[in-house]
Amino acid sequence: MMRRMTTTEAAPGTELPGDREILDWETFGRAARELAQTVVDSGFVPDLVVAVARGGLPAGGAIAYALGTKAVGTLNVEFYTGVDARLPEPAVLPPLLDTQALTGLRALVVDDVADTGETLALVGRLVAEHCAHARTAVLYAKPHSVVDPDFVWRRTDRWITFPWSAKEPVTPSRG
């Protein structure tokens, strides 16, 4: 059964940390291009970008455009349910990525943040099992992450407010 999470910000009964990093849309655009430039400068040329849904969707799309990579896939993983509130381990949700289509390709797995790193580790392993080469890229990496992504725009130990999850989901208009 899929649960509808109302926000990626604060779970009911929790408060947002006062000391947090706030990423706005303009800075996000710059960050995505800078991260893509880092990938290009490394010499890694991905055949496809795999965006980790949901938070990695904006970053994955922006980075794919910046790289000129038209093949984009997504893998939906649920882990966080609020600020420092998460499931015991990440869970892959449908629809599933066609991993057989990855055979022999070079993939760049993109997410918004490697906080614990558990989600990125799961997706990285899954993709690497099927690809010729797989690398990971995130906008932010936390020092306590269990994985050190191949490409990182910024490292921080603060909670991050992303522009796509800063507000509650929209509801029907009254009027």
Q: Would you kindly state where each structural domain of the chain is located, as residue ranges?
A: 21-79+88-161
The more confidently predicted of residues 173 and 82 is 173
β-bridge pairing 159-161 and 151-155? unpaired
> Residue 150 and residue 131: Cα distance in Å, rounded?
16
| Residues forming beta bridges with residue 75, ordered by sequence position | 52
The CA R_g of the chain, rounded to the nearest whole Å, is: 16
What was the pLDDT predicted at 18? Answer: 65
CA 55 to centroid of chain Cα atoms: 5
| Residue 61 main-chain phi, psi, to 5 deg | -65, -45
For 64-72, the CB contacts below 8 A with 24+ separation are 64/110, 66/32, 66/33, 66/36, 66/37, 67/36, 67/39, 67/40, 67/108, 69/108, 71/47, 72/48
Residue from 67, 60, 59, 61 nearest 36 by CA: 67
- Mean pLDDT over the full length of the chain: 87
Give 125-162 pLDDT, tens digit per residue: 999 999 999 999 999 999 999 999 999 999 999 989 99
- The model's pTM: 0.84
Position 151, amino acid: F
Residue 120 pLDDT > 70? yes
Contact criterion met (CB below 8 Å) for 51 and 119: no
Q: Which two tokens stand for residue 94?
A: 């449908």
Q: Which CATH class is domain 21-79+88-161?
A: alpha beta
Q: Percent of the chain having pLDDT more than 90?
A: 67
Residue 65 pLDDT > 90? yes
Q: Percent of the chain having pLDDT more than 70?
A: 84
